[in-house]
Amino acid sequence: MNLETVPKLAKRGLANALATNSLAGLGFRSVQDLTTAELLAAAGGGSAQAWDQLVERYERLVWSVVRSFRLDEAASADVAQTVWLRLIEHCDRIRNPDGLASWLATTTRHEAIRTSKLQRRQTPSNFEFDVEDTTAASFDELLVDSEDRATLIVAFRQLPDDAQQLLRLLTADPPLDYETIAEIIDRPIGSIGPTRARCLDRLRSLMAAAERRDGAGD
């Protein structure tokens, strides 16, 4: 495989770069029903179907972590693509398949930090950024129950950067455990719950203030 093609093809699951196989040994089960361990083994053996399912299952998680670092659009896409490349390189060497979510989150964090440090010195890339951010549209649904999405988005953007990062990580899909989140944001694990509560209280206060202003203007 020419790994230089990976950034273009990561979102499409390397359908044109990985050889398709029949998922031999897994019977007639649907690829959606396979465990993470089975998908990793099949993807490592060259199954494009298994790879597609891994990307579909975990792409929201990767984007949640990427967006929590507030990189620009091109850098965010580059980080996401690089993370999938790392998984391709290691998918047959993941020791704990059930911990793949944490592995992806930690890998994304490391790559985001590296990219952030180098961003100003990077030259424009020739890669086509076709990895779609699937988290933005549904973030409000994951965070709180609100009919006024515009108010929520405005209020969320008024939160400090560290609060925005924490809430994005807490609404990642699949969910991240507190230990992984604590590692990503470099905070004690015992502080995650109380900080989450304060962030949500602040968010609700900002939304309520916005609604009062809107009401006064009617």
Q: Which pTM value belongs to this model?
A: 0.67
What was the pLDDT predicted at 102?
93
How many Cβ atoms from other residues are within 10 Å of residue 89's Cβ? 11
Sole residue written with tokens 């029949």: 22
46 is written with which tokens? 């060259």
Report pLDDT for 180: 92
Q: pLDDT value at position 119?
A: 66
**CA gap 128, 211 in Å, rounded:** 41
Query: CATH fold of 1-134, please?
Result: Rna Polymerase Sigma Factor; Chain: A (1.10.1740)
Taking the chain (218 residues) in runs of 10, the rounded mean pLDDT of each run is 44 43 57 90 89 93 90 90 93 88 94 81 42 45 55 88 91 89 92 93 90 71
CB 61 within 8 A of CB 173: yes
pLDDT value for 72 = 86
Architecture of domain 136-218: Orthogonal Bundle (1.10)
* pLDDT for 105: 94
Residue 151's pLDDT is 82
| Res 54: pLDDT | 94
**Extents of the domains making up the chain:** 1-134, 136-218
* DSSP result, 80-98: HHHHHHHHHHHTT--S-GG
pLDDT of 147 reads: 53
pLDDT at 152 (0 to 100): 84
